[in-house]
Amino acid sequence: MNKILLVTGSSGLIGSEVCASFAQLGFTVHGIDNNQRAAFFGPQGDTRWNQQRLQRELIGFVHHELDIRDRTGVLALVQKLKPAVIVHTAAQPSHDRAAAIPFDDFDTNAVGTLNLLEAARQACPESPFIHMSTNKVYGDAPNSIRLAELPTRWDYADPAYSHGIPETFSIDQSKHSLFGASKVAADVMVQEYGRYFGLPTCCLRGGCLTGPNHSGVELHGFLSYLVKCNLEGREYRIFGYKGKQVRDNIHSADVARFMQAFVAAPRAGEVYNLGGGKANSCSILEAFKITEKFTGKRQVSTYVDQARAGDHICYYSDLRKMRTHYPQWDITVGLEETIRQIVEAWQHRAPSAP
């Protein structure tokens, strides 16, 4: 049996976790990554260290210095490998950055995804195709839900959303940011290749995906960047909503575990809201307190009374569909343990941090 796994964005947080977890299952892992994150975010977004870690630690790992916007290159590589599984995590991931680079954003997120889908249809249509989408496909529509302001967070006041945002929530007629719009295009195309052509595809609409291997920056990577600021005594800027905006956080290992479950029993054109759920949700203010507990350092912050365009006031994922389709899967790493691991990882990577 062909056990080749092809991962795009293999040097990133989720991509690298997927590489490691599937390697343990006996897959030969091929990674596509051209360190575009450094081009998008500067030196602090550089992921070469993670690429080198994979090459050092994973036996048989093959790195491909390829841009997913290179249609000819993508078609040729997928045709050559005919991978048994494709996991697509490469993206321009920041809704703030997208406004400054609209062509790069759309070409990477939407056209790059189409390149991979068509390559899969031509070369390996039976292989599961897993796409890392985003909760930003819902735009700012979740902000229309009635909310309750609590001492340290906002939460849903409407009991219909007591479990969080379901996959049936509308993605239409709301403000997404250009990033959200390009990811909608990719998300719908992945669904269409499943529904129209019958390919085993799924879109994972991630909440805050995090973990110790995240190269967090201000415009992307909420918890990782927050922890880094704390350790370095750097000011963390809070953008609007009194710092009470809520996100659900899921450890990259639990993301990879769900992908394994999908590969074992694939479905066509599916969509899942993949986050930590209500139990793993926190506001910025709450994240400060948990981080301070592990670092012993006070979080330095400043407040900007202007929310980011299209930003969610409160968002956490309704995980019931995932748990129904794949009952063997569940969250295994809690919020506090996730933050503890991120603190430890930053301390190890930057031992001289004050």
pLDDT above 50: residue 352: no
Q: Is residue 230 part of a domain?
A: no
Task: From residue 95, give the alpha-carbon distance in Å to each of 131, 211, 326.
Answer: 18, 20, 31
Tokens of 153: 């967070």
pLDDT at 1: 59
Burial class (CB in 10 A: 0-12, 13-18, 19+), 247: buried
Q: DSSP letter for 305, please.
A: S
Answer yes or no: is 117 within a domain: yes
- Per-residue pLDDT averaged across 121-138, rounded? 97
User: Could you give the number of structural domains in the chain?
Assistant: 1
101 in a domain, yes or no? yes
In a domain, 122, yes or no: yes
The reply to whether 56 falls in a domain is yes
Residue 266 falls inside a structural domain: yes
Q: Are 332 and 254 in contact (CB under 8 A)?
A: yes
pLDDT confidence band for 215 (50 / 70 / 90)? confident
Domain of 48, CATH number, reads: 3.40.50.720
Residue 289 placed within a domain = no
Q: Where in the sequence is the domain holding 199, given as residue range(s)?
A: 4-145+162-212+250-278+311-333
pLDDT higher than 70, residue 58: yes
Residue 156 lies in a domain: no
Q: Does the pLDDT value for residue 217 go beyond 60? A: yes
